[in-house]
Structure 1
Amino acid sequence: MSRIFQTLGADKDAIPLLWIAAPLTGLLVQPIIGYLSDKTWHPRWGRRRPYFLIGAILSSLALFLVPHSSVLWMAAGFLWILDASINISMEPFRALVADKLPNSQRSYGFVVQTLIIGIGTWIASNLPWMVSQLGVSDAAPKGVVPMSVKVAFGIGAVVFLISILYTVFTTSEYPPEDMEEFERERKKKNRFIPDILENIGKMPLTMKKLGLIQFFSWFAFFTMWSMANPALTEHVFQTPAPIEAAFDLTIASQAEAFDTANTAFQKSSNLVGSAMGVYGLSSMAFALLLALYTSKKRINRKFVHMGSLILGGVGFMAMYYATPETLKYCFILIGIAWGSILSMPYAMLSSSVDPKKMGVIMGIFNMFIVIPQIIAALGGINYVSSLLGEDAINAMTVAGISLILAALCNLFIVNKDAISYQPENEIN
């Protein structure tokens, strides 16, 4: 998305604000979907799957249309639709993992989910480069998204829809344990806002502490998603997006120079995307190791998460010294942090909350993901990174510092079940 925004003329300092759709839609949509899915049950479609299906259809349409935007406001508008739709699909997925598994298997379950996410991240990040290697052009007129990006987004839309349809039609869900009580609760007067506020007010202490970890973790990753492309194309590849005002496009030589600079930017953006894909690959490898281990033995979730976040922080700060050849090693370290972020906090949370409220609790927990992103988008990234200087790469240093702060916050977690759930009679 940052590449599309820059292609359509966005200044790099404006990019975080253009990304604000992602956290704002999450803040609004996820608690609502979590609350509604807790109160949903259909004998055939279950509790979470209807929301997967609705979100998948809307998301796929938006994914296909985004790169065809002709102006900046259109791309930003499609991003709002895309993120709202993805949130409808994604929030129930986390609740489904907790619904399906006993406490003793939740670390394993969330780690396996992370493994699959890692595969998708690697493939998706490399898609524009792969499509370009097949001969699809990276060149495009001023203000037009290259065909390689359009094809990559189209493939993403198809894969997204097919994968969720597969989940909807092949996954079963457990009915409520006490159906009569569930029906009585469902028929009560809708108290959505009071119930949400009540659950926020009664938030377990462990959830609040995890929220602090999430705040710094997601500030860091939002910084990466929004600013990695401008930062790395400029600092590592030395091919920043050309600024139209710096060229007189009425002069043939100036127009040719703009096109050359723009094509160089698009090609280095492919390489940045390919390097970023490595974090999906390393998160997958890390998740695989955790999956093999947690399927047989307990782990100390607190210290696994702490160590992983420190490695990710080092990866971000090392980008300042990276070359095009060494950049991938930075993303390998970041992938370890990402693999842990997608699994350990949810495993710790699900072991310390009421399972009957898993959907709404997961939705509320999402507040600790979206609030830091909103702060980052509304100027947090620009302000903090400006303290280090004007170069875009300083945003990556800020992300590294933020991840290390998140790591240290793990020291506040003391709940034994959250740290390492000890099964008594549960078996595989």
Structure 2
Amino acid sequence: MEKRKLSFWEIWNMSFGFLGIQFGFALQGGYMSRIFQTLGAEPHDIPGLWIAAPLTGLIVQPIIGFLSDRTWSTRFGRRKPYFLLGAVLSSFALFFVPYSSTLWIAAGFLWILDASINISMEPFRALVADKLPDEQRSYGFIMQTLIIGIGTWVASNLPWLVKQLGFAETNETGVIPVYVKVAFGIGALVFLLSILYTILTTKEYPPKDLEAFETKKNETNFITDFFASLRSMSSNMLKLGVIQFFSWFAFFTMWSMATPALTEHVFKAPAPLKKEFNLQIPAEKLEFETLNNTFQTASDSVGSAMGLYGLSSMAFALILTFYSSRLKVNRKYIHMFSLIAGGIGFLMMSVLPNPSYLNASFILIGLSWGSILSMPYAMLSSSVDEDKMGFMMGLFNMFIVIPQIIAALGGVNVLSKLFGDTAIAPMLLAGTALIIGGLCNFLITDKKIISG
């Protein structure tokens, strides 16, 4: 069946659910480390507490991709049932995570949250390839990036906005501020409603041949397909995987370590450690509460600054949306220069440790983020079997989660030491990884996937 070109609003509707998905990711990325530190975690413990996130992605995404490729209902479609399941579970986890009373509970909710977001997110990538002809795929993935940018910016600033409405700070030991809890609750609602909007406004195409579809579904299984796909993975996919490896190592380092790194290096307000204070002595308790309040305020500022990378990626995607709707883009060079720009943004954090320059750093990082969310998927979708699009997108995400697992299991702590023992060292590591990822785009030589 020949796919017709879709209008702006049709592509907008099918991508709108990413607003909620990004609310989940932005609140998780911007505030989970803060929650961990509020509950008593030390900076070197934080990457390990994040290990659940990439592990769930490694397991969940290929499975969901495989299942969604083999799902078809005239009433519910192919990808939409997974959107809804992930949205319900994610909304539950988002609402309850800031109420965690201990580190292990918070880490458990992070595991549930990330697994649930992955259930919704993976089929959204496949939906673009399902619905759009090849010449519109760059446009479709860039549209997703535009909506992701909006979600990142709004969600990253949501706790600050809620705080301005009159919700008070808290100086109590180990207690998450109320305004953070309210922000996560709003995020849960936005997640569910935005996914429902896409489900209700988007129709999916049926398989080309239903009889052949049913036969193939009954003849294959996940394990066989998994190993067969690994053996037959194209050189293009492997090259894109190398670029993804360095890109996502960098962003995992930012999500897990930006709060401890920047509150200390830029705002001079590190999180106080409870073990260093005798809270039974009034003077020491007051000192701890004062330092903790300063840390919470600095964390708000870091969260708001991080929101700028969402705003920047949104502006970048908006420009590319208008351009790619009419003309082809060079995916390779856009991705290369965007990653290098983000790497420079990270390096600036050390050279210019000032809150004003921090905004400029995250604007540059936003260019990388906007490209990471669109260009690799656009290139990949032009080089894989459409009948296995969901599964291959899930398999491709191995190149996203494996670097994050390596980072969480000690990669960040060990490799950061190459840049010294200062708090900002992880951000220097992130910048270096992004620049290497950018240069790896020289590996891409296939003209079919470069232009689109």
Give the TM-score of the pair, scaled to structure 1: 0.97
Q: Aligned partner of 1:255: which letter?
A: K
Corresponding residue for residue 35 of structure 1: 66
**Is 1:350–1:358's contact at 8 Å kept on the other side of the alignment?**
yes
Asked if 1:361 is matched to 2:392, the reply is: yes
**Is 2:171–2:290's contact at 8 Å kept on the other side of the alignment?**
no
**Is 2:247–2:372's contact at 8 Å kept on the other side of the alignment?**
yes
Asked if 1:89 is matched to 2:120, the reply is: yes
Corresponding residue for residue 46 of structure 1: 77
* Match among 182, 192, 196 for residue 161 of structure 1: 192
Corresponding residue for residue 48 of structure 2: 17
In the aligned structure 2, how far is the partner of 1:139 from the partner of 1:355? 52
Asked if 1:294 is matched to 2:294, the reply is: no
In the aligned structure 2, how far is the partner of 1:92 from the partner of 1:11? 36
In the aligned structure 1, how far is the partner of 2:387 from the partner of 2:325? 25
In the aligned structure 2, how far is the partner of 1:355 from the partner of 1:194? 18
In the aligned structure 2, how far is the partner of 1:178 from the partner of 1:3? 51
Residue 325 of structure 1 aligns to a residue whose secondary structure is helix
What's the offset of the Cα at 1:201?
0.8
Asked if 1:195 is matched to 2:195, the reply is: no
**Is 2:312–2:367's contact at 8 Å kept on the other side of the alignment?**
yes
What's the offset of the Cα at 1:148?
1.2
Structure 2: any 5+ residue segments left out of the alignment?
Answer: 1-31
What's the offset of the Cα at 1:141?
1.0
Residue 176 of structure 1 aligns to a residue whose secondary structure is coil
- Deviation beyond 2 Å, 4+ runs, structure 1: none
What's the offset of the Cα at 1:391?
1.6
Give the TM-score of the pair, scaled to structure 2: 0.92
What's the offset of the Cα at 1:248?
1.5
In the aligned structure 1, how far is the partner of 2:313 from the partner of 2:229? 32
Structure 1: any 5+ residue segments left out of the alignment?
Answer: 422-428
Q: Aligned partner of 1:266: which letter?
A: Q
Residue 356 of structure 2 aligns to a residue whose secondary structure is coil
Corresponding residue for residue 266 of structure 1: 296
Corresponding residue for residue 109 of structure 1: 140
Asked if 1:304 is matched to 2:334, the reply is: yes
In the aligned structure 2, how far is the partner of 1:196 from the partner of 1:145? 42
Count matched residues. Answer: 420
* Match among 140, 143, 149 for residue 118 of structure 1: 149
Per-residue CA distance 1:61-94 (angstroms, 9 max, x = gap): 0000100000000000011111111110110000
Q: Aligned partner of 2:340: which letter?
A: I
* Match among 174, 180, 183 for residue 205 of structure 2: 174
Greater alpha carbon shift after TM alignment, 278-287 vs 317-326: 317-326
In the aligned structure 2, how far is the partner of 1:387 from the partner of 1:409? 21
Task: Write out aligned runs for 1:183-262 (5 A).
Answer: 183-188=214-219, 190-262=220-292
Greater alpha carbon shift after TM alignment, 364-373 vs 131-140: 131-140
**Is 1:92–1:359's contact at 8 Å kept on the other side of the alignment?**
yes
* Match among 89, 92, 95 for residue 58 of structure 1: 89
Residue 419 of structure 2 aligns to a residue whose secondary structure is coil
Corresponding residue for residue 34 of structure 2: 3
What's the offset of the Cα at 1:325?
1.6
Q: Aligned partner of 2:358: which letter?
A: L
In the aligned structure 2, how far is the partner of 1:88 from the partner of 1:319? 34
Corresponding residue for residue 110 of structure 2: 79
Greater alpha carbon shift after TM alignment, 100-109 vs 163-172: 163-172
Corresponding residue for residue 426 of structure 2: 395
What's the offset of the Cα at 1:98?
1.1
